[in-house]
Amino acid sequence: MLALTGCANIPSSSRPQVIPESVPASPPARDDDLRYDELVPQNGDAPGEIVRDYLRASGSYERVHARARAYLTPSGNDDWEDIQGAAILEDAPYLDVRSNGAIVQMTAQQRGRLSEDGSYVPGKAPFPYTFRMKKVEGNWRIDNPPDGLLIEAGTFGAAYRPYEVYFLDSTRTRVVPDVRWYAAAYDTVPNLLVRALEHGPSQWLKEAVLSDLEGITPQNNVEQESDRIKVYLTGLGDQTDTLTAGGFAQLVWTLNQVGVGGVEIYVDGRLVAPRSAPQRTLQQLNDWRVFSPDGLFVSAGYFVRSGAVWTTKDTPVAGPAGRSAFRAVSVGVSTDQRVIAVVRKSADGTVALYVGGPGALRSTVAGSSLTRPTWGGGSGEVWTVRDGSEVLLVPLNGQVARVQVPGLGALGAIRALRLSRDGARVALVAGPRGREELWVGVVVRQNGRTRLDGLRPLEVGESPVSDVSWSDSLGVVALARGGQQDSSLYAVDIHGASAGRLVATAGLPGPPTAVAAGPALPLLTVAAGTLWQTPAVDQAWTRASERGRGESAPAYPGWRRHPAGSVHRPPP
Is 271:262 a contact under the CB 8 Å cutoff?
Answer: no
Residue of 167, 441, 327, 504 whose CA lies nearest to 342: 327
Strands of 63-202, DSSP E: 86-89, 94-98, 103-107, 109-114, 120-126, 129-136, 139-142, 149-152, 161-168, 175-182
Q: Three-state secondary structure along 127-164? A: CCEEEEEEEECCEEEECCCCCCEEEEHHHHHHHCEEEE
The CATH number of the structural domain formed by 302-555 is 2.120.10.30
Give bridge partners of residue 344 from the DSSP assignment. 328, 352
Question: What's the CATH class of domain 2-13+47-159?
Answer: alpha beta
How far is Cα of residue 45 from the mean position of the Cα atoms in its chain? 42
- How far, in Å, are 52, 169, 333, 554 from residue 561 at the CA level? 51, 14, 15, 22
At 370, phi and psi to the nearest 5?
-135, 130
Buried b (16+ CB within 10 A) or exposed e, 312-329: beeebbebbbbeeebbbb
44: left (phi over 0), alpha (psi -120 to 50) or beta: left
Q: Residues 486-517: pLDDT tens digits?
A: 789 999 999 988 878 999 988 999 999 999 99
Is 40:70 a contact under the CB 8 Å cutoff?
Answer: yes
Enumerate residues 6+ apart whose C-beta is below 8 A from 446.
Answer: 207
Is 312:300 a contact under the CB 8 Å cutoff?
Answer: yes
Give bridge partners of residue 401 from the DSSP assignment. 393
Q: Is 557 exposed, middle or buried (0-12, 13-18, 19+ CB in 10 A)?
A: buried
Residue 545 confidence (pLDDT): 79
Residue of 275, 220, 228 whose CA lies nearest to 256: 228
Taking the domains of the chain in order of start, what are their residue ranges?
2-13+47-159, 161-291, 302-555
Residue 27 confidence (pLDDT): 35
Classify strands 263-267 and 229-234 as parallel, antiparallel or unpaired: parallel
| Signed CA dihedral, 377, 381, 387, 391: sign only | negative
Classify strands 437-446 and 449-458 as parallel, antiparallel or unpaired: antiparallel
Residue 260 confidence (pLDDT): 80
How many other C-beta atoms are found inside a 10 Å radius of the C-beta of residue 366? 14
- How far, in Å, are 4, 187, 188, 190 from residue 223 at the CA level? 22, 10, 11, 9
Q: Is 380 exposed, middle or buried (0-12, 13-18, 19+ CB in 10 A)?
A: middle
Cα separation, 373 vs 390, in Å, equals: 13
- Determine which helix (DSSP H) or strand (DSSP E) holds 353, and give its type and residue range: strand 351-356
Is 231:12 a contact under the CB 8 Å cutoff?
Answer: no
Cα separation, 523 vs 554, in Å, equals: 10
- How far, in Å, are 348, 463, 531, 565 from residue 479 at the CA level? 30, 9, 15, 39
Residue of 93, 162, 77, 159 whose CA lies nearest to 130: 93
Q: What DSSP designation does 186 have?
A: G
Is 126:62 a contact under the CB 8 Å cutoff?
Answer: no
Is 408:402 a contact under the CB 8 Å cutoff?
Answer: no
| Signed CA dihedral, 152, 154, 155, 157: sign only | positive
Residue 83 confidence (pLDDT): 83
Residue of 329, 326, 325 whose CA lies nearest to 304: 329
Residue 306 confidence (pLDDT): 95
Buried b (16+ CB within 10 A) or exposed e, 408-447: beebbbbbbbbbbbbbbbbbbbbbeeeebbbbbbbbbbee
**pLDDT tens for each residue of the chain, 572 residues long:** 333 433 333 333 333 333 333 322 333 434 566 566 667 899 999 999 999 999 988 888 777 888 899 999 999 999 999 888 899 999 999 999 999 999 999 999 999 999 999 999 998 999 999 999 999 999 999 999 999 999 999 889 888 999 999 999 988 999 999 999 998 888 889 999 999 999 999 999 999 999 999 989 999 889 999 899 999 999 887 666 789 999 999 999 999 998 888 999 999 889 999 988 988 899 999 999 999 988 766 778 999 999 999 999 999 999 999 999 999 999 999 877 888 999 999 999 999 999 998 888 999 999 999 999 998 766 688 999 999 999 999 998 889 999 999 988 889 999 999 999 888 999 999 999 999 999 999 999 998 899 999 999 998 878 899 999 999 999 999 999 865 667 899 999 999 888 789 999 889 999 999 999 998 889 999 999 999 999 988 889 999 877 778 999 999 986 444 333 333 333 33
How far is Cα of residue 254 from the mean position of the Cα atoms in its chain? 14
